[in-house]
Amino acid sequence: MFDNVTKSVRVLSAAAVEKANSGHPGMPLGMADVGVAIYKNALKVSNKNPDWINRDRFVLSAGHGSMLLYSLQHFNGFDISVDDIKNFRQLGSVTAGHPEKDFQLGIDTTTGPLGQGFANGVGLAVAERYLSNVLGEDIIDHFIYGIVSDGDLMEGISTEAAELAGLWKLGKIIYFFDDNNISIDGNVTKVSITNQKNKFLSMGWDVLEIDGHQESEIIDAIKHAQKITDKPSLVIAKSTIGKFSPNKANSSGVHGSPLGEKEFELFLDNIGYSGDPFAHSSDIYDYFNNERERDNKTFQEWKANLDKKISNDENFKILWEEFNNIDFQSLSLEWSDDQASRVVGGKILNEIGKSNKFIIGGSADLAASTKQIVSDEVFGSQNYSGKTIEFGIREHAMGGIVNGIALHSNLIPYGSTFLVFSDYMRPSIRLASLMKTNSVFIFTHDSIFLGEDGPTHQPIEHLMSLRLIPGLEVIRPANNNEILYAYKYAFQNKNNPTAIVLSRQDMQYLENNLQYEEFIRGAYEFSAGKDITIFATGSELEIAKEVSNLLDNLSTQIISVPILDKLDNETLNLLNPNSEIFTIELGRSVGWDSHIKNIKKSFSINSFGKSAPIEDLINEFDFSAEKIANEIKNLIN
């Protein structure tokens, strides 16, 4: 029966790609045996309760092979119909070319950029181990299965994440490596000499080598990997890309293009299939029915145990409610002296950590500098209940792992580094926005005012570059209330990622009566005035205040803009700026004019910085309050 089921999976997958005249048939044809074996013999998923928190996760890191996932989900009774399959890659269809996530369809995460899914899976495993320790193994105890490709393993992010998975002994990870030696441009051996087995063994993984087309070997590998509790597992499955395609199998021609009408017919003949390729007999569906019914029953048993635990254990009840409703609206912290916003932010994060168990994260070897430490307990193989994660110098993997933790359930994870190193994390940040995860990215050392470290560490274009990402809310707080509200806003379930951007240097304590409702509008009036208006963010708010004092013959309205992307016409109308408008921000000014019209001048930095003490940099880049005030006077006279 196994052969008949894998035949149907291959035929349905190839037919969908053929009908769309777009897609990647090679991987589904090559990995159908592995996919069927996982769904039949290992995966614990409920098609009636697809978002069950204790389900096994299936990560298709080789997301170009999405038709394999759709075919398997369809035959396993998830809400993907034949019509959905026929609409593969079409506008508005639930069967996209590279799906990201859709828990209701049973899609946990299926990434397009290679390597991302690998790191996401490590994040899912971190979440599984952490929640299992905090909530109990009777509530959280599941595996993370995945299929990864040559391309995944070539991308640096996968090696970064793999080493952490080995270090942390995340034994719930079971990845199958589709070892077909083919990428878009031909044989992988042209561009890679890596012995993947030795590489992963050196990073603390358990490694098996099997024939990816032999059912018994696949099942035995799964059983073996499930028993290895102190190491993640990599199963190297030797496979033939485009298997059963008579002229394109084992070639790059089957990787990213439809088989073509003639080859598709030859493929059907070769595999022994006749009739409508979208119509499959009931026994194919029945093959998986017992497994899914068993899992649906397991869900009911799990749910009954959860309900009983909530009823009988008051401490667990409080914990479960906290987990499902993270809220920091009542958070408060008192201080009134000049401090760097990274320091104040660190104090707030530490207070958050004391009051909630479901904030978890850390820094890329920069906690001593970013100050973003949520707890003294460090996550690791000796303490899976630690909330602080030490990522090492691995910004790219940190981003992917943070997203994976967020994808798991209601945990809100964060990763922290210098703003200039957000470049290393950009693919992960972009995917966080695309997938609408509750990932939090905390960046410090936010301008040339970090001083002597020089232009390689001084961010110039990074603020606007991050603001370009749709759905990412970039917060650059300017005073103590704004910093407090930034953390309140970021660490809650709101289905979108947040970047908090903080200073290295001390910032003036600026007294204000800002209310949270004003903050989340994105901008508010810091001080009133009727002649000119200055918009400013972050440490530049204190510069705007100094400029205002020097413009003693002008009445200056100062508007603080902690979240520029939220500054819309409605908020501008409420703020009612004057006709003479200026902006001050230590970065590229490109983008301000898309939110505010008729800006007289943007005081900004449009070149790389220099290595020097702050005072010298202020003079070098004409960013003293005196120079700005004099230029404003000249511009309006």
**Active site members:** 395
185 in any annotated domain? yes
Output DSSP code: residue 56. P
Question: Is residue 258 in some structural domain?
Answer: no
Using a cut of 0.95, tell me whether the model's pTM lies above it: yes
* Digit-coded pLDDT (tens) for 237-280: 999 999 999 999 999 999 999 999 999 999 999 999 999 999 99
In a domain, 310, yes or no: no
Q: Tell me, yes or no, whether 407 and 493 share the same domain.
A: yes
Residues 6+ apart with CB under 8 A from 202: none
Are 497 and 534 members of one domain? no
Answer yes or no: is pLDDT of 330 > 80. Answer: no
Q: Which of 105, 116, 123, 7 is nearest to 62 (CA)?
A: 116
Q: What is the pLDDT of residue 402?
A: 98
**Judgement on whether residues 163 and 291 belong to the same structural domain of the protein:** yes
What's the rounded mean pLDDT across residues 518-528?
A: 97
Query: Which residues lie closer than 8 Å to 256 by C-beta, 6 or more apart?
Result: 23, 24, 26, 64, 184
**Cα distance between residue 480 and residue 315, in whole Å:** 34
DSSP code at position 579: S
Sheet with 532-536, edge to edge strand ranges: 524-527, 556-560, 532-536, 580-584, 599-603
- Judge contact between 9 and 68, C-beta under 8 A: yes
CB distance 357 to 322 below 8 Å: yes
If 0-12 CB within 10 Å is exposed, 13-18 middle and 19+ buried, where does residue 390 land? middle
pLDDT for position 138: 98
What does the radius of gyration of the chain's CA atoms come to, in whole angstroms? Answer: 27
Residue 162 token pair: 């793999």
Are 611 and 474 in the same domain?
Answer: no
Q: Answer with the residue of higher pLDDT: 212 or 338.
A: 212
Local confidence band at 331 (pLDDT 50, 70, 90 cut-offs): confident
Q: In the predicted model, is pLDDT for residue 473 greater than 80?
A: yes
Of 441, 474, 507, the position where a domain reaches its end is 507
Give the pLDDT confidence of 486-520 residue by residue, as tens digits. Answer: 999 999 888 999 999 999 999 998 888 899 999 99
pLDDT of residue 381 exceeding 90, the answer is yes
Mean pLDDT computed over 208-212:
98
Strands (DSSP E) found in 256-411: 339-340, 359-363, 388-390
Please tell me the distance from the alpha carbon of residue 25 to that of residue 472, in angstroms, as a whole number. 34
Tally of CB atoms within 10 A around 59: 29
Q: Which helix (H) or strand (E) holds 348?
A: helix 341-355
Instruction: Tell me the one-letter amino acid at 282.
Output: S
What does the H/E/C string look like for 462-488? HHHHHHCCCCCEEECCCCHHHHHHHHH
Selected residue with higher pLDDT from 283 and 335: 283
Q: How many percent of the chain have pLDDT more than 70?
A: 100
List pLDDT tens digits, range 555-581: 999 999 999 999 999 999 999 999 999
What length is written for the chain? Answer: 637
Give the whole-angstrom CA distance, residue 413 versus residue 394. Answer: 16
- Whether the CB-CB separation of 417 and 370 falls below 8 Å is answered with yes
Helix or strand or coil: residue 560? strand
The per-residue pLDDT of the chain, averaged, comes to: 96
Angle at 117 between CA 294 and CA 376, to 5 degrees: 95
Helix (H, G, I), strand (E, B) or coil at 139: coil
pLDDT confidence band for 303 (50 / 70 / 90): very high
Confidence band, pLDDT 50/70/90 cuts, at residue 50: very high
- The answer to the question of residue 261 being in a domain is no
Same domain, 538 and 501: no
Determine how many CB atoms are found less than 10 A away from the CB of residue 331.
16
Q: Calculate the CA 471 to chain-centre distance.
A: 12
- Looking at 113-245, list the stretches that DSSP marks H as alpha helix, in order from N- to C-terminal side: 116-135, 150-154, 156-167, 196-202, 215-227
> Quick check: 474 and 536 in contact, CB under 8 A?
no
Q: Which domain holds residue 111?
A: 2-238+283-296
Note whether 13 and 71 are within 8 A (CB). Answer: yes
Q: What is the pLDDT of residues 60-89, one digit of tens each?
A: 999 999 999 999 999 999 999 999 999 999
Residue 507, sorted as left (phi over 0), alpha (psi -120 to 50) or beta, turns out to be beta
Domain co-membership, 459 together with 548: no
Q: Is residue 602 part of a domain?
A: yes
Same domain (yes/no): 484, 583: no
Give the chain's count of helices (H) and strands (E).
23, 20
Res. 426: pLDDT tops 80 = yes
Domain CATH number, residue 632: 3.40.50.920
Note whether 488 and 527 are same-domain residues: no
Closest to 53 (Cα-Cα) out of 355, 385, 411 = 411
The rounded distance, in Å, linking the Cα atoms of 413 and 125 is: 13
Mean pLDDT (whole number) for 171-194: 95
Tally of structural domains, the chain: 3
- Is residue 427 within 8 A of residue 113, CB to CB? The reply is yes
Tell how far CA 86 is from the center of its chain: 30
- Give the Å distances, CA to CA, from 66 to 29, 69, 97, 408: 11, 5, 7, 20
For residues 510-532, give the mean pLDDT.
95
Separation of alpha carbons 555 and 538, rounded Å: 22
Asked whether 35 and 147 are in contact (CB, 8 A), the reply is yes
> Are 586 and 502 contained in the same domain?
no
334 in a domain, yes or no?
A: no
Say what the pLDDT of residue 327 is.
Answer: 81
Interior/surface letters 166-190, b for 16+ CB within 10 angstroms, e for the rest: bebbbbbbbbbbbbbbbbeeeebee
Give the model's pLDDT for residue 511.
Answer: 83
Mean pLDDT calculated for residue range 588-597 = 95
Asked whether the predicted pLDDT for residue 430 surpasses 90, the reply is yes
Do 439 and 537 sit in the same domain of this protein?
no
534 and 451 in a common domain: no
Measured at the alpha carbon of residue 386, what is the angle toward residues 385 and 392, in degrees to the nearest 5?
135
Q: How many CB atoms lie within 10 A of CB 567?
A: 21
Q: Quick check: 623 pLDDT over 80? A: yes
Residue 188 has what pLDDT?
A: 93
CATH number at residue 357: 3.40.50.970
**Maximum distance among all Cα pairs of the chain, rounded to whole angstroms:** 88
> Is 79 a member of any domain?
yes
The phi, psi pair for 146, rounded to 5°, reads -160, 160
Please report whether residue 223 resides in a domain: yes
Same domain, yes or no, for 499 and 527?
Answer: no
The model's confidence at residue 328, banded by pLDDT at 50, 70 and 90, is confident
As a whole-number percent, the residues of the chain with pLDDT over 90 amount to 95
Residue 333 clears pLDDT 90, i.e. is over it: no
Helices 422-435 and 116-135: crossing angle in degrees, nearest 10, is 70
Residues paired with residue 533 on neighbouring β-strands, in sequence order: 557, 581
Compute the distance between CA of residue 25 and CA of residue 33 in angstroms, rounded to an integer.
14
Stretch 389-414: mean pLDDT, rounded? 98
**3-class secondary structure for 368-425?**
HHHCCCCCCCECECCECCCCEEECCCCHHHHHHHHHHHHHHCCCEEEEEEEHHHHHHH
The pLDDT value recorded for residue 384 is: 98
